[in-house]
Amino acid sequence: MDMLYAHALFLNARRYPQKPAIVFDGRPWTYAALQDRVARIGAVLAARGVGPGDRVSLLSENHPDMLAVMFAALALGASPAPINYRVRDEDIAYIARNSAAKVVVLGKGYARYVDLFSAALPDAWQMSLEAIDGLIAEARPLAFDWTASTNLALLHTSGTTGRPKGALRSRWGLGARAIEQGFTQNDRTLGVMPLCLSYGYGYSLLPLYLGATLYLEPDFDTDRVLHLLTHERIHSTFMIPTLIQRLVDAPGFAALSCPSLRLIQNAAGALPYDTRAAIVDRLGPVLSTYAASTESGPYANLRGDDILRHQTASCIGRPFFGSEVRLLDDDGQDVAPGNVGEICVRGPCQYDSYLNEPALTAETRRGDMITVGDLGRFDEEGFLYLVGRKRDIIKTGGINVPAADVEDVIARHPAVAEVACLGLPDRAWGEAICAAIVLKPGAKAEPADVTAFCALHLSRFQVPRFVVFLKALPRNLTGKVVKDELRQMVLARTETPDRLH
């Protein structure tokens, strides 16, 4: 069980008062200065009635004061509730109402949302990050009552298969992440992921929990990241596949020299084998990639030499440190080794519940374990292979076809850059497999080329009946394909699926 995160920051301010806790825009924020700011912000929030059980919503791009507000809320027993700033306005309004926050904090450039929050949360006090210096100038640092503090935060799921759902989590497993993935208190950790996402939130707290230094960036800028990796002797970082791909594709990557770099932690999707190989060739065995969800947290991790030894993108590694992973059939029984079952997890990072959604919460429970709807299988060495989401099963002609099985094959076609498969309504087959494909720059292919390639590697019933080429796949902020949106895009192109190819 982790310590209270706000208390850990307080203790680190005593252990390392002059050590940089955060470096932002070239300016170091020491642990002592950050803790003093947290205590003053805590006094401001407490004066507004914020206490145990309350929520503080934040809409902002990355900034140290965003973290300071989060720590102050946790210290008071309130829950930070950051909102994804790239979702639609109607989703922001929905998330705000669902969060029922007492305080709303708006970052630089987000004053345009004042009216939206006034309508969604008429009783909430709104505060601007730009006004914090003035607000805390006369505030006396608050002496927190650590017995009232919490680790509970509210983050909404990415909504790849429906509307965002509010996930409450008090267990982030920061200690387990450090052990499993190799983060240490001596690290200089580069943070480029948005704090409003579960991934960015957890891995930005982690270095501050350990007493390390977080190099926090407002967003991902390739040239800036290359500069920091080279000149700031970064030890560790965490990114999603989209950002890692941008890094590898950058002109400066071929000359990148970063002997201090020990870890690039990837999540939110698989990396193509050639991208993994490019990282290892340039930087050594620094790559680690895990499978996780907002509900379960990390449940499997692939790292070191295993990154290249397991060439298929569907291998997601061994069970995460401290996590029990079981594969269950529809009757809740463990499947035999090598067989496919629903991935169920009990571990140090799992969520508590969905906010105001007891029925949805119950759907994610398998006894005392959590299911995130993923299907997988273990091999004889204990490595877990992701077969697909349970909902990502295409039922065609009475046979269940995991979309991931088809996607893995099509991804090996030399002309294909990206692929996502889904089922389309079909009178004869129930669902027909449709492959949505993005071609590599300059590459050419016809639907028949794709289906012929699939026929060489798949059973007949697994071969897509329809192929559509797109300029890009719709993705959310974490890089995951939003299949509901993709389905609408595909169906909007034609009145009948037969015209797709």
Taking the domains of the chain in order of start, what are their residue ranges?
30-156, 397-500
What CATH number is given for 30-156 in this structure? 3.40.50.980
Residue 495: per-residue pLDDT:
47
Which tokens go with 405? 């099985």
Strand order in 55-59's β-sheet? 79-82, 55-59, 103-106, 125-128
19 within 8 A of 211, measured Cβ to Cβ: yes
Residue 111: per-residue pLDDT:
95
Residue 313: per-residue pLDDT:
64
Torsion of CA 33, 139, 62, 104, to 10 degrees: 160
Of 3.30.365.10, 3.40.50.970, 3.30.300.30, 3.80.30.20, the CATH number of 397-500 is 3.30.300.30
Residue 430: name the closest of 497, 330, 475 by CA.
Answer: 497
Which tokens go with 128? 């601007």
Please compute, for residue 469, the number of CA atoms within 13 A of its CA located in the half-sphere on the CB side: 15
Torsion of CA 22, 70, 96, 51, to 10 degrees: -170
Residue 459: per-residue pLDDT:
79
CA distance 51 to 74: 9
Residue 270: name the closest of 86, 474, 418 by CA.
Answer: 418
Please compute, for residue 47, the number of CA atoms within 13 A of its CA located in the half-sphere on the CB side: 13
200-232 pLDDT tens trace: 999 999 999 999 999 999 999 999 999 999 999
Amino acid occupying residue 458: L
Residue 67: name the closest of 161, 149, 153 by CA.
Answer: 153
Kind and range of the H or E run holding 37: helix 31-47
198 within 8 A of 174, measured Cβ to Cβ: no
Residue with tokens 């805390």: 136
Q: Taking all residues of the chain, what is their mean pLDDT, rounded to a whole number?
A: 91
Q: Where are the beta strands (DSSP E) in 320-429?
A: 324-328, 341-346, 353-354, 365-366, 369-378, 384-389, 393-396, 399-402, 416-426
Residue-wise burial string across 474-494, b where 16 or more C-beta atoms lie within 10 A, e elsewhere: bbbbbbbbbbeebbebbeeee
Those residues of the chain that have pLDDT short of 70 are 158-162, 268-270, 311-313, 388-391, 398, 427-428, 494-501
β-bridge mates for residue 436, sequence order: 420, 468
For the chain, what's the residue count? 501
287 within 8 A of 317, measured Cβ to Cβ: no
CA distance 201 to 289: 17
Other CB atoms within 10 Å distance of the CB of residue 39: 22
